[in-house]
A and B are shown apart, each in its own frame.
Chain A
Amino acid sequence: MTQTRRPRLHVPEPPARPGQTPSFAHVPLSPAGAVACPPVDVSPEDTKDFASRLIRVLDDEGRAVGSWADFLGASEGDVLRRGLRDMMTTRFLDQRMLLAHRQGKTTNYAASTGEEAITCGFQRMLSPGDMNFPTYRQSGLLVSAGFPLTNFMGLQFGNDLDPLEGKNLPPMHSSKAHGFFTVSGNLATQYVQAVGWAMASAIDGNDRVAAAWIGDGATAEGDFHSALLYASVYRPPVVLNITNNQWAISSFVGIAGGHVPFATRAHGYGLASLRVDGNDFLAVLAVSKWAIARARQGYGPVLIEWVTYRAAAHSTSDDPSVYRPKEEAAAWPLGDPIERLKRHLIAAGEWSEERHEQARVEIEEEVLSAQKEAESRGTMIGGGGGTAPLSAMFEGVYKEMPEHLRRQRQKAGI
């Protein structure tokens, strides 16, 4: 028999490169309100349909519709206004840090522009004692947990306002008091750590919830799969979040195997999963409330794919216009989270253009004032490093400094 076919290596390509027309035809969408809210104790088997559909609450007119809106209940305007304010603060903070980078005051930043609803919404639903295991693109978790902006900027500028005393690169924060686990930078490691932390909570007889965070690209790492396996085997109180912002530096989701929705990864492990409009603040609130309640009540983990778009560059080290169309962000079908929540609040009579403008001015003043204070303590400008104490680099390697390190410090004269 003559062989007519041979294997060919398949290297996936995104729908559009620079100069081509952007398309998101490969992203499955569902109308607002179309995906029903299951009971929090739903069996993983019964969530299979959710992985390829999209939970949305806000419709095109900014109305909250469907059973997820009912589950969320009548959110007090205060919660939504707080969310709006957190998102606006996060966005402006990101802008200022990107500008500070261009000015040479800091060396690295990763903005979350367009993704703010996920962090600012999820954080609202956590309780004191719960713990996020975040990535480096989640300033919104810190902003909405009330982490001081001056400390945030202290790390960026490498000065003595940095609680970490210059030991970790920006923007890799740590604040146990704000439920924010120390950010690694070695991708996906935190995902299985979050599961372990939640196992400890269960072993300890507690109901504290861990929230694991990862991007679409890093789901390719082994630790992501280890985490799903451990979550599946031991069923601890963990919420497994994937922020799918469509891009991993220059690689589109297809390179991470995203031709099937990431939410379906849960099925092989027998885990519940949901796929959610991450630019819909009300959907984020509702699903976060559901998932955290499910975990806290011992009904087991849930994997959530938050569908969003990375409107910014990966970090200050890359220029996205060389690998994707400039018009792609505008073509993103799920819009902008701040604009959508603003429209909803105005439609509900809870907000107005005037109040929005007033809030914008206040937020900018708050961030600029914090930046002024933070910059007064020194920045990374000039390439000579920051003003954080030199001695800190020898301290906290171990609880007690061992003899060999003590000798090295002595020799260095620090």
Chain B
Amino acid sequence: MARMTMIEAIRDAMDVKMTQDRRVVVFGEDVGYFGGVFRCTQGLQAKHGKERCFDAPINEGGIVGAAVGMATYGLRPCVEIQFADYVFPAYDQITQEAARIRFRSNQDFTCPLVIRMPTGGGIFGGQCHSQSPEACFTHVAGLKVVIPSNPYDAKGLLIAAIEDDDPVIFLEPKRLYNGPFDGHHERKIVPWAQHELGEVPEGHYTVPLGKAIVRRPGADVTVLVYGTMVHVAQAAAEEIGIDAEIIDIRTLLPLDLDTIERSVAKTGRCVIVHEATQTSGFGAELLSVVQEACFYHLEAPIIRVAGYDAPYPYAQEWAYFPGPDRVGRALRDVMEG
């Protein structure tokens, strides 16, 4: 076991797969010689060669379009989009191509492809480095959408994503790269070395796609959450002393319906938390799933805590970010409801 940051865990996942499987190739803007702006691919080019880890032009549509072609040839590309905010030039290739090649060709062609991208706020990135666009992908049949919340999961999920035979959108909460951020921006940064989920096994292991995990069992209320907000929700529940069952969704698509339904049926209350803007956010889907399956178990209206429906601001970051105070308020409200 080694203590790793999320960056190191993600890098290790790619390294393990590149070593095991000649078909795995890694490319993107600045990922080759330099090793990526967040250093996730550092050393991979030196170790695995320029033909398997290389720099790409600043052309996201080209990165994903070329990767789709490679995947249909039989390689397993794992590409990086420098920020999730920059993925939109590739949206056509992701939603109309990668997601549909298996279906529209009736499995004549397949597209095993991973598209990694840093997501979310917390680094004063403003409107073009802070967005959480997961719902833009969960609405697309044929894609899988994954968001890890810690180094252990990040490595296991990324290996599983690379081994998956369908295209996977792999969103990396950038505020978690170096530590388990709980939303208390005023406090000193806690490194992953001090967190049990910073323990990452060496070599190959997987965390299965499509499986949520109960991060903290509890009896009072189910909190459905993923990414950075897992840590925020845990902090909020502890601070106000509510026995919350925290479910880390991990894979948004396909969703682990059973784990969610079982928990809400038990607690009878549900709070949904995400960083992304509220309207038509993934929380709306979670809310519908819970309502459809658990209506008669509910003892209070379901509450969403999400980003405000405004572009991510710069100087007002901490008023915008749904931190532990807002989550805590929702937990109190749902208990009183």
Chain A interface (Cβ within 8 Å of chain B)? 131, 133, 163-165, 167-168, 172, 174-176, 181-182, 184, 186, 189, 191-204, 210, 222-223, 226-227, 229-230, 233, 392, 396-399, 402-405, 407
| Cβ of B73 under 8 Å from chain A | yes
Inter-subunit contact B109/A181 (CB<8 Å): yes
Name the CB-closest residue of A to B66: A196
CA distance A246 to B64 in the complex (A): 30
Within 8 A of A (CB), among B70-89: 70, 72-75, 89
Question: For residue A172, which residues in chain B have a CB less than 8 angstroms away from its CB?
Answer: 104
With A164-B106, A167-B106, A182-B101 as known contacts, state yes or no: A199 contacts B72, CB within 8 Å: no
Check B66 against A397 for contact (C-beta < 8 Å): no
What is the chain A residue whose CB lies nearest that of B210?
A: A402
Closest chain A residue to B209, Cβ basis: A402
Q: Which 6 A-B pairs have the closest CB atoms?
A: A196-B69, A196-B66, A402-B254, A192-B65, A226-B62, A200-B73
Could you say which residues of chain B place their CB within 8 Å of the CB of A404? 254-255, 257
Q: Does B316 contact A (CB under 8 A)?
A: no
Known: A192-B62, A199-B70, A226-B62. A184 touches B52 (CB 8 A): no
Is B165 positioned at the interface, with any CB of A under 8 Å from its CB? yes
Residues of A within 8 A of B20 (CB): none
Query: A204 — which chain B residues lie within 8 A by C-beta?
Result: 73-75
Residues of A within 8 A of B93 (CB): 189, 192-193, 223
Q: Mark B95-106, 1 if CB is under 8 A from A, else 0.
A: 011000111111
Other-chain contact of B74, A186, A200, A233 (Cβ < 8 Å): A200
Given A167-B103, A196-B67, A404-B255, also A186-B96 (CB < 8 A): yes
Name the one of A133, A163, A191, A202 contacting B106, with C-beta atoms under 8 angstroms: A163
**Inside 8 A of A175's CB, which chain B residues have their CB?**
108
Instruction: Tell me the bound Cα distance from A184 to B89 in angstroms.
Output: 18
Return the contact of A200 from the options B69, B109, B110 (Cβ within 8 A): B69
A182 contact set on B, CB distance < 8 A: 101, 104-105, 108-109
**In the complex, A176 Cα to B63 Cα: how many Å?**
23
B239 at the interface (CB under 8 A from A): no
Q: Which residues of B contact A398 (CB under 8 A)?
A: 102, 142, 144, 166, 254
Across-interface contacts of B102 in A (CB, < 8 A): 396-399
Decide: A189 near B96, CB < 8 A? Known: A167-B103, A223-B65, A396-B103. Answer: yes
Contact B66 A199 (CB under 8 A): yes
Query: Contacts of A396 on B, CB cut-off 8 Å?
Result: 102-103, 106-107
Tell me whether A174 and B104 are in contact (CB under 8 A).
Answer: yes
Known A226-B59, A404-B254; judge A193-B165 contact (CB<8 A): no
Whether a CB of chain A sits under 8 angstroms from the CB of B92 is yes
Known: A200-B74, A403-B258, A404-B257. A192 touches B96 (CB 8 A): no
Kindly supply a per-residue 1/0 record for chain B positions 196-228, scoring 1 wherever the CB is within 8 Å of any chain A CB and 0 otherwise: 000000000000001000000000000000000
Task: Kindly state the separation between the CA atoms of A392 and B97 in the bound complex, as whole angstroms.
Answer: 19
Residues of A close to B336: CB separation below 8 A: none
Closest approach, in angstroms, between the C-beta of B285 and any C-beta of chain A?
10
Once bound together, how far apart are the Cα atoms of A251 and B22, in whole Å? 46
Which one, A133, A176, A197, A198, contacts B108 given CB within 8 A? A176
Q: A176-B108, A182-B108, A399-B165 are in contact. List 16 more A-B contacts (CB 8 A).
A: A168-B104, A176-B109, A189-B96, A194-B69, A197-B73, A200-B70, A203-B51, A222-B89, A226-B62, A227-B62, A230-B62, A396-B107, A398-B254, A403-B254, A403-B257, A407-B257
Is residue B141 within 8 Å, beta carbon to beta carbon, of the partner chain? yes
Q: What residue of chain B has the Cβ atom nearest to residue A180's Cβ?
A: B108
A407: chain B residues at CB < 8 Å are: 257
A200–B96 CB distance below 8 A: no
Query: Is residue B61 contacting chain A, with contact meaning CB distance below 8 A?
Result: yes
Beta-carbon contacts of B252-283 to A below 8 Å, as 1s and 0s? 01110110000000000000000000000000
Q: Is the CB of A192 within 8 A of B69?
A: yes
Q: Are B105 and A193 in contact (CB under 8 A)?
A: no
Closest to A228 in B: B62
